Structure 1
Amino acid sequence: MPTVLTVIAAVLAAAAIALLLVEVVHRVVRRLGRRSLLLCELAEHSHRPFQVAATVLAVQFAVRLSTGTAAREPWLAAVLHVLVLAVIASTAWLVASLLLVTEDTALARFRIDVADNRHARRVHTQVVMLRRLTVAVIAVLAIGVMLMTFPSVRGVGTSVLASAGVIGVVAALAAQSVLGNVFAGLQLAFSDAVRIDDVVVVEGEWGRIEELTLSYVVVHIWDDRRLILPTSYFTTKPFQNWTRTRAAVLGTAEFDVDWSVPVQTMREELRRLVEGNELWDGRVCVLQVTDATGGMVRLRALVSAPDAGSLWDLRCVVREHMVQWLREQRPTAMPRVRAEFGDANSNLDWQWKNSARPRRRTAGAAAAPEVPDDARVFGGSDDGDARSEAFVGPEEPVDALR
């Protein structure tokens, strides 16, 4: 009975001293943290694991010192074993919290709520993947060390290590899909193929990368649905990444209209519309005739925006405005189906009796009007010239290359 009372008193005294010291250190670090982000994060997130680890360690030392070298009773050996397990678990918790605080401090320097955040999103993606891997490794090591404290497990350890090769092969075959996803997640994080907050099109769905783990990727679709895909999907199948190099993107709005449409007037109206809209980034505003078959003319309006969300809204605004403009200002240019009855003798004015020969151009004839800049995608501006150089084709004809 005196031994039990002595142990209890020593435990209470050690726990009180440990809590007092931890509280003093916490207040000092919090005061110093007013000038340091790292110390502030330590005081905020590592206080509890440090408190638990210091208390458990102090209690273990108190029990060992108070019992001395005398023969231990069965209950005392069990208590010491439990304390050892608690020390290992609390130490792993403390180490994990310190690593997470370091990662959070590093992430605080890279903001993703700015316009040009490609580099910051890449760093966030890599750090998040490393965080998950770090926590998993620490947990596995802690569990392994805790198991090695049991004598029966240590006895089995030799035979397990002897057959580690066979077990490794069997485990690799059984979990090859899981390991494939893990390696795919690491490849995505460090190959810069996809990052958190990237705008992608996968499985016909348009959305943003919301979460990227070692085994799966969460895509936040534009209508607030979530598409869950394995990480191996992004390394084995093609997908669209709209923000691979920069957030600014191009988008189109197409119109099928009548042949009587005034293309240049419509082009000027498109320019006037986007110049007065805050969604346009000022880079590209082009209206082109992309097709003229089937009794109608197809016009394509190409506009640019600083990000995918703004581009979606801008395309909708362009469609709505141009449809209204055609209906109110140029109703004759709206799509129509013609049915004309001709004369078998070709005596009507619109019927041709003889094929017209092309007229020769006289010296005083007016030159063809110059094509405006907003009628060209590949050229006409600095951005268009750069796009033309990026999409240049072979210098020799295709037939000559065969």
Structure 2
Amino acid sequence: MRETIDSLAAKFEPWAWDLIVAVTAGVLGVALALLAHRVLFDLLRRLASHNNTESDDIIVESMERPTRWAMGTLGLVLAARETPALQMAWERFAGLVMPVLLGWIAFSLVKGFARAMTLHAQASVDLAAARSRQTRIAILSRTALLVIVIVTVGLVLLDIPGVRDIGTTLLASAGLAALAVGAAAQPALKSLIAGLQMAITEPVRIGDLVVVDGHTGRVEEIRMSFATVRTWDERVIIVPTSRFLEQSFENWSRKSEMLTGPVFLHLDPATEVEPIRAEFLRFLETREEWDHRTAALLMTEAHPESIELRLGMSAATIGDLWGLRCAVREHMIDWLRREMPDALIRHRLEVEAANARVAQT
């Protein structure tokens, strides 16, 4: 067998034989590494399937592709150690391939953990705590992804001789360059710092109901430089992240969604209030949206032409409060129309006094 291999080698030029050996070693190394990767991830998927949560499945799925390429590269590196020709070829590309693979693995790992932690946070019974976790996960994960991308690109560029020489030249004249870079990076740094402040202080969280510049809606997404607020009519309002830190705004669900809301009735001054109060309290008892925290009818204004009644009520969520207020408003107006029609304001004409004035003229 040895003689056969030597005779075949003698028929090839040295460079051709080295090429055949390098290609064969590389293919075998990559194939064995990919086979090991498949066996390993089949085992990991089986282990993850025995867990009741989807977090393990998400992490395994996110890491499968980058680790497949990394394992193939590892097999190529191990084969190159035993093959000088393959080693020479690999050294030309190692400086570019390795940072990209490591950055890809780190990027996928952060995204997988972020998805798994977000899924776990959404399953929490405490709505406020779930929003807090989702907001921190979103902001911190995007910050980590941005850092990974910047570091990866920097390592790749530093391995390119021309770019490295340009960087050395810029460092030699770092005076004006530092000022220019600092001025250009100021908005990005401001957004980065604002995003980190949002994650730490949490003035607003994903899912909060906020009022910003007269727009009321739910916070759908918080990024490093802006947040999106979706209003009731499906419009999306783009709000700079720094807006939540530098100016005032309303957050209706900061700690919880339990709110108290009013319904105002403007009635005739001669209206008897106590029957209206009794009917209001009776109707609240029939509504599932009412959480039994607040129920009060107060006369908040009294004018010669009208009085103002404030019907205060509470609910466990903002949506329930909105529906409850609409139901109370509709019911009370209908009840007044049927039971106390004189309480509704009308524009009256003093017909007798007018006729008397006409008769005197």
TM-score range, shorter chain: 0.7 to 0.9
Residues 296 and 313 in structure 2, CA contact (< 8 A), matched pair in contact too: yes
Hey, what does 2:344 align to over in structure 1? 334
Q: Say whether the 8 Å CA contact 1:60–1:84 is kept in structure 2.
A: no
Report what 1:388 is aligned to: none
CA 1:69 to 1:56, structure 2 compared with 1: closer, same or farther past 3 Å?
A: closer
Percent of matched pairs sharing the same residue: 34
The answer to whether the Cα contact below 8 Å between 2:194 and 2:242 also exists between their aligned partners in 1 is yes
After superposition, the C-alpha distances for 1:110-139 in whole angstroms (9 at most, x for unaligned) are: 33664x311221111111111101111111
Does 2:327 align with 1:312? no
- 1:14 and 2:29 matched: yes
Partner of 2:5: none
- Output the CA distance in 1 between the equivalents of 2:181 and 2:161: 26
Matched with 1:58 is 75
93, 99, 103: which one aligns with 2:104: 93
Give the total of aligned pairs: 336
C-alpha distance in 1, partners of 2:178/2:243?
26
Relative to structure 1, the CA distance from residue 152 to residue 100 in structure 2 (aligned partners, 3 Å threshold; closer, same or farther) is same
Aligned to 1:233: 243
Deviation at 1:177, TM superposition (A): 3.1
Q: Amino acid of the residue matched to residue 50 of structure 1?
A: T
Cα deviation, residue 223, structure 1 = 1.6
RMSD: 2.4
What amino acid maps onto 1:300 in structure 2?
R
Answering whether residue 177 of structure 2 is matched by residue 167 of structure 1, we say yes
Contact 2:59 2:116 in 1 (8 A): no
Q: Output the amino acid matched with 2:34.
A: L
> What displacement does 1:101 show?
3.0
The aligned amino acid for 2:74 is: L
**Whole-Å separation in 2 of the counterparts to 1:262 and 1:13:** 94
Unaligned segments of structure 1, at least 5 residues: 344-402
**TM-score normalised according to structure 1 size:** 0.77
Whether 1:324 and 2:338 are equivalent positions in the alignment is no
Residue matched to 2:128: 118
> Normalised by the size of structure 2, how large is the TM-score?
0.85
Judging changes above 3 Å, is the alpha-carbon distance between structure 1 residues 22 and 165 closer, same or farther for their aligned structure 2 residues? Answer: farther
Match of 1:246 in 2: 256
Q: CA deviation at 1:48?
A: 1.1
For residues 214-251 of structure 1, give each alpha carbon's deviation from its aligned partner in whole angstroms, at most 9, with x where no partner exists: 00000011121111111111112211000112210111
3-state SS of paired residue (2:18): helix
Deviation at 1:318, TM superposition (A): 1.2
Check the 8 A contact 1:60/1:80 in 2, yes or no.
Answer: no
Deviation at 1:51, TM superposition (A): 0.5
Aligned partners of 1:240, 1:81: CA distance in 2, in Å?
58
User: Which whole-Å CA distance do the structure 2 matches of 1:163 and 1:297 have between them?
Assistant: 77
How much does 1:160 deviate?
A: 2.8
Question: In the aligned structure 1, how far is the partner of 2:330 from the partner of 2:110?
Answer: 52
Q: Which is richer in helix?
A: 2
Instruction: Give the equivalent residue in structure 1 for 2:233.
Output: 223
- CA drift at 1:39: 4.3
Letter in 1 for 2:67: F
- CA distances 1:67-96 after superposition (whole Å, capped 9, x unpaired): 3499x6xxx4xx653454233212211122
Distance in 1 (alpha carbons) for counterparts of 2:338 and 2:196:
56
Cα distance between partner residues in 2 of 1:168 and 1:191 = 31
C-alpha change, 1:284 and 1:163, in structure 2 (3 Å) is farther
Shift of 1:65: 3.8
- Partner Cα distance (2:86, 2:74) in 1: 19
- Asked whether the equivalents of residues 143 and 192 of structure 2 are also in contact (C-alpha less than 8 Å), the reply is no
Aligned partners of 1:266 and 1:162: how far apart in 2? 83
Look up the SS of the partner of 1:208 in the other structure.
strand
Query: C-alpha distance in 2, partners of 1:314/1:27?
Result: 53
Q: Is 1:2 matched with 2:17?
A: yes
**1:241-299 Cα shifts (integer Å, max 9, x gaps):** 00112210111111111112221111111111121111111111111111111401111
Q: Name stretches of at least 5 consecutive residues in structure 2 with no aligned partner.
A: 1-15, 354-361
Q: How does 1:3-402 map to 2 (within 5 A)?
A: 3-36=18-51, 39-63=56-80, 65-68=82-85, 76=89, 80-111=91-122, 114=125, 116-164=126-174, 166-340=176-350
Residue 61 of structure 2 aligns to a residue in which SS?
helix
User: Which SS does the other structure have where 1:98 is aligned?
Assistant: helix
- Cα deviation, 1:141-198, whole Å, max 9, x if unaligned, reads 1111111111222333333334446434323323433332322222122102111101
Decide whether aligned partners of structure 1 residues 316 and 150 sit closer, same or farther in structure 2, where only a CA change above 3 A counts: same
- In structure 2, distance between residues paired with 1:137 and 1:161: 22
Q: What amino acid does structure 2 have at the position aligned with 1:93?
A: W
Q: 1:160 to 1:292 in 2, by over 3 A?
A: same
Whole-angstrom distance in 1 between the partners of 2:278 and 2:34? 75
Paired with 2:123 and 2:269, the residues of 1 have a C-alpha distance of 48
Instruction: Label 1:278 to 1:113 Cα distance change in 2 as closer, same or farther (>3 A).
Output: farther
